[in-house]
Amino acid sequence: MTVIDAAPLGVADPSRPTTVHLSGEIDIFTSAALRGQLMDALHHSTSLLVLDLSEVTFCDAGGLGVLVGVQRRARLMGITLALTAPRPFMSRLLRITGLGRGLRMVA
């Protein structure tokens, strides 16, 4: 798992969402690092944090747990977490687990 171009953290434009581009696998081996990076992004985010999933190639239960945990923390901070550009496997995973109803999707 790699976080690509997490936007210019610390100088976020409040009129634009903060976008974090993810790539690779989100699994038991990468979840802890991703959680830390996304929590850091939250502290430098605007009111909308968008996770671009277009380059994510795999996601397991640990990865889904990270998304849910980051969403909970974002809500406590008054930030909306949204997902964009999931690959078909990821859209299906979110749908069959029911997380697609709780995690906001943006175009």
Per-10-residue mean pLDDT of the chain, 107 residues long, equals: 51 75 95 96 92 97 96 96 97 94 90
Is residue 44 classed as helix, strand or coil in its secondary structure?
coil
Give the HSE-up count for residue 42: Cα atoms under 13 Å, Cβ half-sphere. Answer: 21
Report the pLDDT value the prediction gives residue 9, as an integer from 0 to 100: 47
Give me the phi and psi of 11, to 5 degrees please: -130, 35
Tokens for 52?
């671009």
Report the pLDDT value the prediction gives residue 16, as an integer from 0 to 100: 81
- 57 residue type, one letter: T
Report the pLDDT value the prediction gives residue 107, as an integer from 0 to 100: 83
Report the pLDDT value the prediction gives residue 2, as an integer from 0 to 100: 52
Report the pLDDT value the prediction gives residue 29, as an integer from 0 to 100: 94
Report the pLDDT value the prediction gives residue 90, as an integer from 0 to 100: 96
Q: Report the distance separating Cα 59 and Cα 46, nearest Å.
A: 26
